[in-house]
Amino acid sequence: MITSHIFAFCSASPQADPNLTLSIESFPNNVGVSTKHAASRFVESAVHAQRPGSSRFRLSDQDSSATRVTATGPLFKNGGNEQITMTLAIRILGEPGRDNAVYVTVDSGQSILRLLFDCGSGCLEQLPVSDIQEIDAALFSHFHMDHISGFDALLRHNFNRTAQPLRLFGPCDAQQVLEHRLRGFTWNLVDDMTGRVEITSIGRNESSRVTRFTKEAFAHAHDRHPAVFDGCVLETDEAVVEAIVLDHGCPCLGYRVTEHERVNVDSESLRQTALPPGPWLAQLKDGSVPDETEIDVANSRYVVGELRRKLLQTTAGSRLAYLTDFRSEGDALSELIEFVEGVDVLVCESNFGNADRELAIRSRHLVSDEVARLAESAGVGRLILFHLSDRYSHDEWFSQLRDVRRIFPNSHYPKEWDALFDGG
Ligand SMILES: [Zn+2]
């Protein structure tokens, strides 16, 4: 049914080339393909998406003169899913035109990394308290009010974190701003508390981390740890988080999350060896077991390295980038494109429409076309737009998305906003 829907549109569209064919096995909700070049990019992102549980499809473009094919379907319904891959999930908190935050989880199978990007007013009310209490790190782009107004809710549920510190990251003024946020309360009755907060400020070439203790009412900075900043913010069992310094009139950080590569046993290769599955497979996947180790499998001796070469398959982890409140030009733009190149998902601000370019330049933001061109140049899989401005009406938000899709078709508002954009 979906297939015929799309073909019907192709033949009805004056812009569609009759020689362009779409071969579709199963199609996601809505997709626009604007040029042959975009079509091939779209196929690339389809390849990315071919994981268990995702749609499989194929596009074939037989005529290079094809100009525009747009799949039908509700334009403003999100084409994807909050669950970006089997292991990476994104949730946009807050409403369109209001403060936002982005909650990201990376599930390694053994453990879950929980990250919060920025923390606008009221955003954490959308998360269960148990999730807020398990946030591993809050990463701030910058400290304009709309990005930190919800900080008190984060602190309220985490001011006495004992198992591991509450980790906070931000640009070079992070120490100063967050010290004020932490100390802006009366903290008696905390003498017996053993919680702590770690604050890391990140500059272009250097970073600095300090620890503040609950029992001291966060008044003193301990263990000052200055370091050369090489781009890596945080490395955990699940993923690596990196940052890039952007220009928003003030320093602002863009972030990239890269899940560790996954090592799996290839079931077909295992079948060919006729070896029985068992705990020995876990030894193959365990990086701490040296290649030259010998193990017993089905009453025979095998060298781990040889079995690894025969049986293990490595797949790259998913990647996500988070960018908001910045303008980039010249060398800085090239550096940024490299930073987000090929990520599966780019979550990016959509603060200004093309008509308000002057205003955007003055407040160091991007306009719609610039966001779209960034996604296109970097060849990202999917673009999720957030951080909309309340200076615009619903209709204007619709046209902003339309403008972005003209350049980068696989662009969406967050799934969480579907109900608000219903009927669009
Ligand atoms: Zn800002």
Question: How do residues 210-230 score in pLDDT, each as one tens digit?
Answer: 999 999 999 999 999 999 999
Same-domain status, 113 and 234: yes
* Contact in structure between 253 and 142 (CB atoms under 8 Å): yes
379: phi then psi, degrees, rounded to nearest 5: 60, 45
Last residue of a domain, one of 39, 70, 101: 70
pLDDT (average), residues 355-377: 97
State in Å: Cα 248 to ligand 1 middle.
Answer: 7
- Look at phi and psi of residue 144 and say left if phi exceeds 0, alpha if psi is from -120 to 50, else beta: beta
- Whether 146 is a known active-site residue: answer yes
Distance 146 CA to ligand 1 centre (A): 7
Distance 399 CA to ligand 1 centre (A): 23
DSSP H or E stretch at residue 272: helix 267-273
The CA-atom distances, in angstroms, between 4 and each of 29, 51, 66 are 14, 25, 19
**Structure tokens, 317:** 């982890």
Total domains, the chain: 3
CB 406 within 8 A of CB 373: no
Residues 111, 206 within the same domain: yes
Q: In whole numbers, what is the pLDDT of the chain averaged over residues?
A: 82
Q: Give pLDDT, residue 303.
A: 93
Question: Are 322 and 342 in the same domain?
Answer: yes
Same domain, 310 and 380: no
CATH assignment of the domain containing 165: 3.60.15.10
Mean pLDDT to the nearest integer, 88-112: 94
Element holding 359 (H helix, E strand): helix 357-362
Look at residue 3 in the predicted model and tell me its pLDDT. 29
Residues 285 and 407 occupy one common structural domain: no
Query: Is residue 92 located within the same domain as residue 199?
Result: yes
Do 208 and 131 share a structural domain?
A: yes
Q: Do 102 and 222 fall into the same domain?
A: yes
Q: Give the distance (Å) from ligand 1 centre to CA of residue 251.
A: 10
Buried b (16+ CB within 10 A) or exposed e, 206-221: ebbbbbbbbeebbeee
Residue at a domain's end among 70, 99, 128? 70
306 found inside a domain: yes
Residues 346 and 406 both lie in one domain: yes
Query: Would you say residue 77 lies in a domain?
Result: no
- Residue pLDDT, tens place only, 383-404: 999 999 999 999 999 999 999 9
339 and 368 share one domain: yes
pLDDT of residue 166: 96
Q: What is the pLDDT of residues 48-73, one digit of tens each?
A: 333 222 232 333 333 322 322 333 23
C-alpha distances in Å from residue 253, one per residue of 118, 247, 352: 11, 8, 19
Q: Which two tokens stand for residue 17?
A: 């080339």
Residues 252 and 292 in one domain: no
pLDDT at 52: 28
Note the pLDDT tens digit of each residue in 169-220: 999 999 999 999 999 999 999 999 999 999 999 999 999 999 999 999 999 9
* Residue 361 domain flag: yes
CA of residue 381 to ligand 1 center, whole Å: 26
Q: Is residue 78 one of the residues assigned to a domain?
A: no
Residue 75 counted as domain residue: no
Domain that holds residue 390: 88-260+317-417
pTM metric for this prediction: 0.76
Whole-angstrom distance, CA of residue 350 vs CA of residue 76:
15
Q: Do β-strands 382-388 and 411-412 pair in parallel, antiparallel, or remain unpaired?
A: parallel
pLDDT exceeds 90 at position 282? no
Which of the listed residues 35, 70, 105 is the one where a domain comes to its end?
70
228-257 pLDDT, tens digit each: 999 999 999 999 999 999 999 999 999 999
**Residue 54: inside a domain:** yes
Extended beta strands in 95-231, E state? 101-107, 112-117, 137-139, 166-171, 196-202, 206-213, 222-228
**H or E stretch including 88?**
strand 88-93
Cα(179) to ligand 1 centroid in Å equals 20
378 pLDDT above the threshold of 70: yes
pLDDT band at 419 (very low <50, low <70, confident <90, very high): confident
CA of 142 to the centre of ligand 1 (A): 7
Active-site pick, 118, 146, 356, 403: 146
- 109 located within any domain: yes
Return the number of other C-beta atoms located less than 10 Å from residue 42's C-beta. 20
**Tens digits of residue pLDDT in 10-45:** 322 333 333 333 333 233 333 333 333 333 333 333
* C-alpha of residue 325 to centroid of ligand 1, in Å: 5
Q: Do 132 and 9 lie in a common domain?
A: no
Can you tell me the mean pLDDT for 253-275?
A: 91
For residue 423, tell me if it sits in a domain. Answer: no
Asked if residue 307 has pLDDT above 80, the reply is yes
